[in-house]
Amino acid sequence: MEATARATGPRPLAAASLSDLGPVRGVVLAHELLDAQPARRLRWDGTAWVELGFRLGERGLAPAEAPQIAPVPPPPLPVLGPDEAGRILEVAPAAEGLIREVADHLEQGWLVIVDFGAEESELLARHPHGTLAGVRGHRSLPEPTAAPGEADLSTFVNFSRIRRAASAAGLTEVAFCSQAEALGAWGFSGELDRALGESRSPEEEVRVRLAAKNLLFGFTRFRVLELAAGVPARTPGRASAPWPAAPP
């Protein structure tokens, strides 16, 4: 959860909550963390947002609509047109709360978020039926709630709201880009050259190249959001970044 520079290199720490660590100086990495936070599903009915949920019946869980929408923390929800009725938007107040928690405890360093998601406008345009998904045994379920308690549920990260929450909490945005762009900025080409140079056979070199290709082009839905607190607004991993280098 945190890496602090020492003479022997970065030291990883794990904790149930940042509050357990007190003031943090270093790097907080959230990799596929925000997509797993509880999300609220909202449907535009042509004039207003209504809340979607599930009701437990004799045949299991069934989609249900709440009689009225509970308050949604700011920022305000987007206002759509009558012709956009039926579009579903997911918001995750818990994920936004995590950003505020990190901001409260990150005294000096960076918060690096790697997750699948998009800006709110893109989510509404490209995923009109929402992004709720269920996965069990590394396989997607045709119905996300088909196996309650036995499958992982997730939604795409609404990065528009996450970025606003970060800004409101006092974090400085360093970069928001694709995973391939972030890896390039972090020196991926040098690491690839090193791995290729250490390959012990042509077959191993091919495996390294295929793995690199998958990292760069196999995660097109992943976005990287880099945020800073108490440090110059430089991108982590760039040559100009003030991260101390680990020993070779």
> Is residue 56 predicted with pLDDT exceeding 90?
no
**pLDDT averaged over every residue in the chain:** 87
For residue 51, give the nearest of 91, 94, 9 by alpha carbon. 91
pLDDT band of 234, cuts 50, 70, 90: low
Identify whether 12 is part of a domain. no
pLDDT band of 6, cuts 50, 70, 90: very low
Identify whether 17 is part of a domain. no
Identify whether 121 is part of a domain. yes
pLDDT at 182: 93
Identify whether 13 is part of a domain. no
pLDDT at 233: 56
> Is residue 10 predicted with pLDDT exceeding 90?
no
- Can you give the C-alpha Rg of the chain in angstroms? 21
> Is residue 229 predicted with pLDDT exceeding 90?
yes
**Tens digit of each residue's pLDDT (9 = 90 or more) over 155-193:** 999 999 999 999 999 999 999 999 999 999 999 999 999
Helix (H, G, I), strand (E, B) or coil at 121: helix
Identify whether 235 is part of a domain. no
- Whether the CB-CB separation of 125 and 41 falls below 8 Å is answered with no
Domain CATH for 132: 3.40.50.12710
Mean pLDDT on 214-219: 90
Tell me which residue range forms the domain holding 123: 24-229
Identify whether 206 is part of a domain. yes
Contacts of 230 (CB under 8 A, 6+ apart): 106, 107, 108, 109
pLDDT at 33: 95
CA distance linking residue 35 with residue 175, whole number of Å: 19
> Is residue 236 predicted with pLDDT exceeding 60?
no
For residue 180, give the nearest of 211, 227, 222 by alpha carbon. 222
> Is residue 242 predicted with pLDDT exceeding 60?
no
CA distance linking residue 50 with residue 69, whole number of Å: 6
Contacts of 168 (CB under 8 A, 6+ apart): none
Identify whether 244 is part of a domain. no
Q: What is the largest CA-CA distance in the chain?
A: 64
Residue-wise over 158-192: b if at least 16 C-beta within 10 A, else e?
bbbbbbbbbeebebeebbbebbbebbebbebeeeb
Counting the structural domains of the chain, the total is 1
Identify whether 128 is part of a domain. yes
**Tens digit of each residue's pLDDT (9 = 90 or more) over 76-108:** 999 999 999 999 999 999 999 999 999 999 999
232 compared with 198, residue with greater pLDDT: 198
Residue with tokens 């091919």: 206
> Is residue 52 predicted with pLDDT exceeding 90?
yes
